[in-house]
Each structure stands twice: as C-alpha cells, then as structure tokens.
Structure 1
Amino acid sequence: MRVDAHQHLWNLDIVKYPWLVPEYGPIYRTFEADELEPLLAASGVEKTVIVQAMDSYEDTDYMLETASRYDWIAGVVGWVPLNKPDEAARKLELYSRNPLFKGVRHLIHEEKDPDWVVGDKVIEGLKVLAAFGLSFDVVAVFPNHLKHIPKLAESVPDLRIVIDHLAKPQIKESLMEPWSSQLKAAASYPQVFAKVSGLNTAANWESWSSADIKPYIDYALDVFGAERVMFGSDWPVANLAGDYGKVWTETNIALEERSREEVDLVLGGTAASFYRL
C-alpha cells in the first residue's frame, strides 16, 4: 500500500490560518480533497494522512469532517492545547473516539519561544497524549527544534514521535552538520520516527532534483532504518517548489538504490504501522 503520510487541506472560508498570507502566492487559496484526489491516483498513492495546518479546533474539526467523506483519507493529525493539559485531556477524550484521529501536532515553529515544546506544561500535555495512545508530529524546523527531541523522548518515553520534514535540513546550502549529528541523536530513541517530506522547499525552489535531496534521505535511512522513515508530500506547500507529481517522482528516484523492502516501508509500510492505519 502506498501512503502519503503528510499532506494538508485547508479552506480559507471555514478556518482562519493567520500564518497563510498573500506573500505565499500559489498556496494562498483553498485546497480541498477533490483537488488532491486525481494527483494521488496519478502517483498510485492509495491512502493519506491529513496533518493540521492551524492550532485550532476548527481546523481539526474540518479535517475530521472531510476525512469522513473520502475513503482514501486514512488518518488525521489534529490539534489540542498541549500547554493546557486538563483541556487537552478533555478534548482528546472526545477526539479519540473517532478512529480517524491518529495524533496531534502544534505549530511549534510559529511560537516565539524556540523552547516552547520542552516547557513543563507541554511535557505534561504530551504525557496526556501518550496516555491516549496517540502520536506527536514535531514540526522541528532546523535549527531550533531538532535538538529537543532527546529530551522529549526521555521525558515521555511511551510517546510515539515523528519528526516532520526531516527537520528541514539546509539542503539549499548543501550542509549536513550540525543537522546530521542532531538527527542521529534523535534516531537513537526507538520511539522516534522521521518523515521524508517538505524537502523540496528546503532546497533551491527553481532547480532542485532527486540529487539534492538524496544525501539527506540516505542519511535518515542510515540512522533510523526504513522501518522508521515514511514519505509525505507536504502538499499543497510542496507547490511552492514544484508540484505533487515532481515530489513523488524525485523521491522515488532518490530511493532507486534501496531494496524493494525498504522502498515499500518508506512509501507506505512505516506510515501504516506508525499511525495504525
């Protein structure tokens, strides 16, 4: 089964997204499931996981309602206020009744405090999340957040964590360090996974290809193993530097030297296991 473990849907008429401003050009508009469906079919992707695009219940409710209408949407990563553990627990009691609700994410890269995710209240909220058996997507935009993964893993050892976008390595600059050392440290914890997603927008938007992203994918596979690495398109953000088809094609080219078993894990098996699809 081919799975896109990271894509977004948003409707500007239903939900407010303060971060999404006109300067984002081609993605400053509504993107819904009907537009994505033919792109999935063309790439042979059978299931997707929708990931939150705003820290709001409105966004989560919108995603869950949409997911109920499309059988190819296998999971939703929503939002609860992790820094308010009691409120988070009440909302998770409700959301966890929906089998499509798989985990939580917070736009930590939009927080003014780069250490927000390791605050005492947030750690307490993550313990609540773990108690519900749900996972945590970390928008670990380098260089502020990847270094916090070890503390998260040690503070909440029963929490399944996935690092979105490989933490946005400096692909455009062709730099590996200190990203690689921090990623290796994160990978030393078996409950931590990683997404090969959003790499095109970390590269040169106009000229990137599989050759640019391959060293970073290879390194992630080396330190995590394919059983803890999963593909995500990051559509429609991906449209800033190409489109769905290019991301899918170039990622597949970057994986050509890998075994069939590894490819099957990255392109579906790992996501199905991690998100319990």
Structure 2
Amino acid sequence: MPEHSDVIIDAHQHIWDKSRADYPWLTQELAPVDRVFTFDELRPQLDACDVTATVLVQSADNLEDTELMLACAADEPRVAGVVGWVPLDQPDRTAELLERWASTPVVRGIRNLIHDRPDPRWLFRDDVREGLALLERSGLTFDVVAVLPDHLEAVLDLSERYPDLPLVIDHLGHPPIDLDGPPDGSEPWWDLFAATAANPRVRAKVSGLYPTGDGTAAQRTEEVRRVVDHAFTHFGADRLMYGGDWPISVLHGGYGITWDSLRPLFDGLTPAERTAVLAGTATAFYGLDPQRVAAAHAD
C-alpha cells in the first residue's frame, strides 16, 4: 500500500438515483441536486483534486439506496468503503441485514437519517437502543448526523452505553459557522462538541461546512477556520477525517471550491497530522481494505 502521505481519502460522498431508491428529502426545493448523481460525474472532480478514494455514505433510509452504493462499489475501484443502512428501530430486521453485510466486506458502517425524524431524541428510544446494541456487536461503525444539541447529547450517551461502537460525527455536528465573535456559551455546539471528544472512540468529519453566501474559497477558509480549529483542539488530527460531501456541495459551489476552502487548513498542519486527516483516520476508523486503497491509488 502507498504511504498515507500520497493518499487522499474522501470519507463522505453520496450518489443517488430516484429511479432506483426513494429519497423523500430530495424535492424541487433542492432543484440543483434533484437529479441523478453517479460516480462517473464525480470521478473527474476527484482527479482534479488528487483524491485517491472515497467512502460512499447512505442518502436514504431504505435498502435500495445501500444496494445502489454496493453496485457502484462493485464497478468502481475508487470506492474504498460503503456506509449503508439498517432499520435500527426494527431489531429483527437489523440483525438480518447486519448478518448480510458481514459477508459484504466493502460495507464498513451504518447510518440513519436521524436529523430528518420528527423526534430529535430518536436514538434514545428502547427499540433503537436494541438495534444499536446489535450494531455494536457487528463490528461496524456508526455515522451520526448531528444537527441539533439533542443529537450531540445522543453521541455522549451512545459513547458511554456502547463503548465498543465506533462513532463518527458527520459534518462536525453542524457548527455555528456564521455567528461572529468568540464562543460565549449562548451556542451549545461549542461545549457539546468538545464533550463528545472525551471518549476516544468518537471521531468527526471535517465536512459539510458551508457558510452563508457565495464567498471565494479563501473567504470560506476564514469563515470556517474557527470551528475547524475548535475541532482540532479537542479531537486532534488523528480523530478527524476529511469529507467532500458531494453532491450536496453542488448547492454551495461544487467539489472544487469545497476542497480549496479546506485545503489551506490542512496545509497548515504538520505532515503527520495532514496525513491523518486526509487518509489515516478514515482508513483506521472504517477498517478500509489496504489492497483496495492501493489499487485505487495505482489507478
């Protein structure tokens, strides 16, 4: 396998196709991304940014979306891993699917769209907790879509209740990018996000950070610097991973400007730290197949 310093792994990508799966959240209000997005469209953008491989992450709470990603992974060597779906509130079905994914090595984790559920404390439900216990025993990871304080509180609870379940907070838990001034306690993200770092099994993705407005890449860098610095202070580089969040990033200028806005923050790290954020953390957390990553790198 090549040295991690030669590898960039994008730990948060999506594909979707409404003819293959149901995406209730994908409506005309999101017109620029309300269409089919395939890996063929993503590939040249990865090339332009020297990204070696990606992790595909579920976009819908249904089996068809996971099967779409698996079909892509079967044809595309640059897909190093898939974060799929199981119905955590249906323990019997969860057990069945986890057994299926155990024989599908490219499946490295599970995610549910908890932020789209009416109950912000869905992860605290007894039936969901039974499903999470099964997930903990499976050896797979869990991506947490945290957009509310309740979601970060759930991470705190899960990290204590399921100590052997590796957790990753997507998009740094939706930080308050557009609030001016230093954290003063009025915005709970600062303290809650820092508290989640107390458990060494928790990771976070430097992804999905979109300031309001259409600034240049350099302007975006400065707008997100404060929250990214906060993440590095509490998690350290070896527990953070880069994610491009395509094609959601299309709503905010596209893959290139997203990468260009984050790259200066990574370039300011030590070589070891940069290697961790851009490849090492994702590889270790998801247990990515080194041969698959090496093949993607060679390709």
Instruction: Work out whether the TM-score is over 0.5.
Output: yes
Alignment correspondent of 2:96: 90
Contact 2:90 2:131 in 1 (8 A): yes
SS in 1 for 2:55: strand
Partner residue of 1:26? 32
Relative to the length of structure 1, the TM-score reads: 0.97
Question: 1:240 aligns to what SS in structure 2?
Answer: helix
Query: Cα gap change, 1:205/1:25 in structure 2, threshold over 3 Å: closer, same or farther?
Result: farther
**Alignment match, 2:263:** 252
The counterpart of 2:213, out of the listed 171, 191, 205, is 205
Q: 1:125-159 CA distances to partner (integer Å, 9 max, x unpaired)?
A: 11111111000000001333112211011111110
Give 2:82's aligned amino acid.
V
Letter in 1 for 2:131: G
Looking at structure 2, the residues matched to 18 and 68 of structure 1 have their Cα atoms a distance apart, in angstroms, of 26
2:243 is equivalent to residue 232 of structure 1? yes
Q: Does 1:218 align with 2:226?
A: no
Aligned to 2:252: 241
Instruction: Give, in angstroms, the shift of residue 119 of structure 1.
Output: 1.3
1:111 and 2:121 equivalent? no
The one of 154, 157, 164 equivalent to 1:151 is: 157
User: For residue 72 of structure 1, what is the aligned residue in structure 2?
Assistant: 78
3-state SS, counterpart of residue 48 of structure 1: strand
Displacement of 1:205: 3.4
Name stretches of at least 5 consecutive residues in structure 2 with no aligned partner. Answer: 1-6, 289-299
The 8 Å contact of residues 205 and 242 in structure 1, kept in 2 or not, is answered as no
Q: Confirm or deny that 1:186 pairs with 2:192.
A: no
Cα deviation for residue 174 of structure 1 reads: 3.6
When normalised by structure 2's length, the TM-score is 0.90
Q: Could you tell me how far 1:218 is from its partner in structure 2? A: 1.1
The whole-number CA distance in structure 2 between the counterparts of 1:256 and 1:212 is: 17
How far did residue 105 of structure 1 move? 0.3
Q: What aligned pairs does 1:137-176 form with structure 2 within 5 A after superposition?
A: 137-174=143-180, 176=183
SS of residue matched to 1:68: helix
Q: 1-side partners of 2:28 and 2:133: how far apart?
A: 37
Distance 1:59 1:255 in 2: 32
Report if aligned partners of 2:149, 2:192 keep a CA contact under 8 Å in 1.
no
Runs (4 or more) in structure 1 with deviation over 6 Å come to none
Count of residues in Structure 1 that have an aligned counterpart in Structure 2: 275
Secondary structure of the structure 2 residue equivalent to 1:19:
coil
The answer as to whether partners of 1:81 and 1:87 remain within 8 angstroms in 2 is yes
- Can you give the 5+ residue segments of structure 1 that lack an aligned partner in the other structure? none
Question: SS at the partner of 2:119?
Answer: coil
Shift of 1:164: 0.2
Please point out which of 139, 142, 152 is paired with 1:133: 139
Over the aligned positions, Cα root-mean-square deviation in angstroms equals 1.1
The answer to whether the Cα contact below 8 Å between 2:120 and 2:148 also exists between their aligned partners in 1 is: no
The aligned amino acid for 2:230 is Y
Deviations 1:83-134 (A, max 9, x none): 1112101111011211100110000001100000121211111111111100
